[in-house]
Copies of this chain bind each other. A is one copy, B any other.
Amino acid sequence: MAHHNNGMTRDEKALMQALSRAISVVPRVLDADLQRDQQLPLTDYFALTYLSEAEGQRLRINEVATRLSMTISGATRTVNRLEALEFVARERSASDGRGADVVLTDVGLKRLKAAWPSHRDSARRRVLDRLDANELAVLTKALNSIGAEPDDFDSADCPPQS
């Protein structure tokens, strides 16, 4: 009967639990679906997607990192993987020799196109089909405000990523 109160309302607690569950479950099932059907990790799939949508099918590493919500070093490793599979190539930038552009190759684009249907179906089954139009709209807006940049700075130190 020990009843501990952590200072949230019942509704707030319910939200936080639903959120942490979704946060654990969703990426796992989407990744598992894609790995099973296409032997392609979800992260790599997203990276290819962002490249395919980019101007000239190319992005700087740091843009890859931003889009994947990942550190630059994480993005480096992701690009390494994709490069080993020849889905992308690094091209030393003409304008800035410090880093390279990551360019989507034909092989990479083919691979992505082959994977689309699988991911689309997976997203439908796991997520989209479970929401009505109103939920979809509200959820998108809510998740966007939640995912937005911290905007805190109440505490002094703000050492960002490496």
Contact = CB atoms under 8 A, between A and B. Distances in A.
Interface of A: 2, 4, 6-8, 11-12, 14-16, 18-27, 29, 36, 46, 49, 52-53, 57, 68-70, 113, 116-117, 119-120, 123, 125-128, 130-131, 134-148, 150, 152, 155
A127 B146 contact: yes
B144 A18 contact: yes
How often does this chain occur in the complex, in copies? 2
A46 B156 CA distance: 27
A97 to B, nearest CB: 27
Contacts of A69: 20-21, 24-25
A125 to B, nearest CB: 6
Nearest to A56: B2
